[in-house]
Structure 1
Amino acid sequence: MSQRRRPTQVDIARAAGVSQATVSLVISGGKSSGQVADHTRQAVLDAAARLGYTVNAAARSLKGGRNRMLGLYTFEPVFPVDQRDFYFPFLLGVEEATAEFGYDLLLFSSVTSGERRIYSDGINRLKIADGCVLLGRHLDRAVLADLVREDFPFVFIGRREVPGVELSYVAPDYVDATRAMVRRLVGLGHRRFAYLRPADHQEPTRDREAGFRAGLADAGLPDQPVHEMPDADAELAALLGQCLADGVTALLVEPSEDDQAIVALDRVATDAGVRIPEDLSVAVLGDPAPTRPGPRRDWTRFTLPREDMGRSAVSLLLELLDADTGPRQLSVACTPVDGDSVGSPR
């Protein structure tokens, strides 16, 4: 028995009593489809449903219509599907918001030559989707510039800067959150601070550092030392000892995405007999990743509304698609968490 032939737009046109051009307008979903009367459009859709016609999403996208698919791409080597992963709540928010708006979500995780790539042989792999949410710390800024130049709609989760272009993003307000943390510590009586940050000094780190200096200025205090997080425990122990010798009573620490910075600090302080917060108050500028089993210290910190940021990224992306506006940026407030790692200085 021969295989049944798939229905075509010619079949739909014959069944609905309209021209093939009208069917093409309705199926494409592009701007010109608005020229078709509502009753004619419904007749075409009914005929397509009766015949079992399915739209080729990739082909419809190439014709300029919407296929109601949004993409999600991360520059990190492993997709954030583990609940303990720093990125997982972002993914959850993106997925829920995409479903609520009636879109499908396409996860891009292709690897070429051992590397995650958006472009292959000059072709943008993301174009099968109407637009894309991007995230990740280890990004390729040249690729972001290429996406902007070809006018592909995307929203980055996190503030990112690319020379010569303006990006759309949803980012936590690290400046204000860090500034508020300094003000809180000053209110407890602290006057000698140190800030411990990662070595790569990307935009989130620069924002936190700006908030650190703004908080000091608010209190009329001079600039305080900023240190890079050492790789080895011995170096971290020496740095911790130097801070205490210099009279530092409050340490602000930027967490790494894998929690290693906070884990190392806790371990080194314990081994050195430094009590937190009795000997040294420690404030964490973000969310320590929940990677370790068992009890964890309740760090004084601020937390990022990561799931809400994922939702906001989808909303912003759809606004860009609908309004065809220029790049937009959204700053989201962080939430302070009391914890038990800060107190009044000795």
Structure 2
Amino acid sequence: RRALSSKFVKAKTAKMDTSGASWKDCTVLTQCAVMYTRNKFMANLFALIVLVDFLCTCIDVDTRATGANTGDVVQITADLCLCAYSIDTVLVVIAKGLRILLDPMMMTDAFVLTCGYVETLMQYMGYGDLMSSVAVFRMLRLVRILRVTRVLRRTGGFRELQKLIRMLSTCLKTLFWSFIFCFVMMTVWALLIVELVNPLMEEVFQDCLECQKSTSSVMRANVLLFKTVIAGDSWGQISVPMMEEYPLTAIIFMGSLLTLVFGVMNLIVAVVVDTFAEARQRDVLNLAEEMQNNETLDRERLERIFKRIDTDGSGMVTFDELLEGARRDPEFQSRLRVMDIDEADLEQLFEMIDVNGEGEIAAA
């Protein structure tokens, strides 16, 4: 009978088609690629490269806006960053297999790299002026902004920001329909403004032609509501003078304020949060990744605790060392208290881990 471990099942790294390369070379290359994708230092270094490229993009856009040419240092730095992106993409494909190319995010990376090489090729062929004048080619430069998203996928230090991006991508459909709903509600109040408030505008704002035009049509009334209610701008220019002259118009202006701001906006927030919560429960891949990250962090913390408990530095912990460490280490005490483990339970736990009865367990 095959011996099985108590660890969770993890997928094996896919092997790529060597197409002529020896099996040994392919194995070494795959191992190096896997080590690269799992190395935190390389992930942080790549994040730094992405941020440097983003800075170069900002400098390039500012320089071209003034009509000047981008400096050679900025251009060469951007080209080196493009080479780094290419190497990173190849290593990721080697480590995770060719199936990763079907992933939408990897398709986005491939599109970004293609646009980058087209832009660089045209730049060195002397078509820089053409790229600056034609809108389609100018978009190739702006595609580089999408490279910043790779920082979120390669580093684990931006977990909160990753959740924000994931929430935005998950709730795009909900946000779209929320905007439609908000626009419909504003249109209802805009109809009332055109029917009831517009006839009074000429009398109140005799010297302000723009004020009279602001309620002359449903679309203009929508713009007025968005400006005053949603954006909170120019509330005292039209709404307050009208309510002072005709107090009953406060029903429309205050009603639209209460309905849109305290009603529709809060409803949209509640629906978006609920949608993200449902999507998060269904997203088993991200949940498994978060659980694995939490398990890794807990393992590292426990290793540090056991190193502090291992007073003789032998790499093995006896029960006396474990008990003494539980009495003097605050972090270890807190963990045991959370798990409701007292000294008697700690002895039973030690005996369960020490399956060979050697009287000591490995600290790592």
Which is strand-richer, 1 or 2?
A: 1
**Structure with the higher fraction of residues in helix conformation:** 2
TM-score category by the smaller chain?
under 0.3
State the TM-score, normalizing by the size of structure 1.
Answer: 0.27
Bigger radius of gyration among the two = 2
Flag the structure with more relative contact order, 1 or 2, with Cα contacts below 8 A and sequence separation at least 6: 1
Relative to the length of structure 2, the TM-score reads 0.26
